[in-house]
Structure 1
């Protein structure tokens, strides 16, 4: 019975594992982490996220005030000047990529 359970899981009978899901997610789009100065709270995170989310091709934004990092997922690499302008519009400063 154990062999049947193993063969039905993501692991093959030779012990190697491959669900295929991880490779599908990794192959979609680009993720870039930016450093932004001036964020101190949740409101700051929301303002930066909202401005960057409005850029063409952006699919997700996560801003963390504590670290000053903003993780941006996009369909293709973003123009850093466009990201800088969005961060400036929110009232903060783009330091660069992390």
Structure 2
């Protein structure tokens, strides 16, 4: 087949689109997420969105914490996932949770 209809979907003048173009140098490659640290803890006493907000606010105030995700479990221990750029001390996590008015459950995950 030598007859080909050009649909204009491919820009043949560049190295590719943004999702598949080859970076110009190693400096253009984003840092891998593997350098991030993820820790999960269980927090008791959280029953509502306000609880989640309070714990999240206190934990994100710790230096290096980038994101906090809470899986609330009313009547039981809620799973809290902390993503940070560097390891966070367990005493800092405990202090932040207690500052929010809650306690770490006996067992971390």
Global fold match (TM > 0.5): yes
**If you compute each CA radius of gyration, which structure gives the higher value, 1 or 2?**
2
Q: Say whether the 8 Å CA contact 1:32–1:97 is kept in structure 2.
A: no
User: Structure 1, residues 40-91: CA drift from partner, whole Å, max 9, x if none?
Assistant: 1111011000000000000000112226011000011110011000000000
Aligned to 2:37: 30
Q: Say whether the 8 Å CA contact 1:28–1:75 is kept in structure 2.
A: yes
Q: Say whether the 8 Å CA contact 1:46–1:63 is kept in structure 2.
A: no
Higher helix content, 1 or 2 = 1
* Partner of residue 56 from structure 2, selected from 30, 49, 53: 49
Please give the TM-score of this superposition, normalised by the length of structure 2: 0.64
Which structure 2 residue ranges, 5 or more long, are not aligned?
Answer: 1-19, 21-29
2:88 partner SS: coil
Runs of 4+ in 1 over 3 A off after TM superposition: none
Aligned residues: 80
Q: Say whether the 8 Å CA contact 1:52–1:58 is kept in structure 2.
A: yes
Please give the TM-score of this superposition, normalised by the length of structure 1: 0.71
User: Structure 1, residues 6-27: CA drift from partner, whole Å, max 9, x if none?
Assistant: xxxx9xxxxxxxxxx9xx33x1
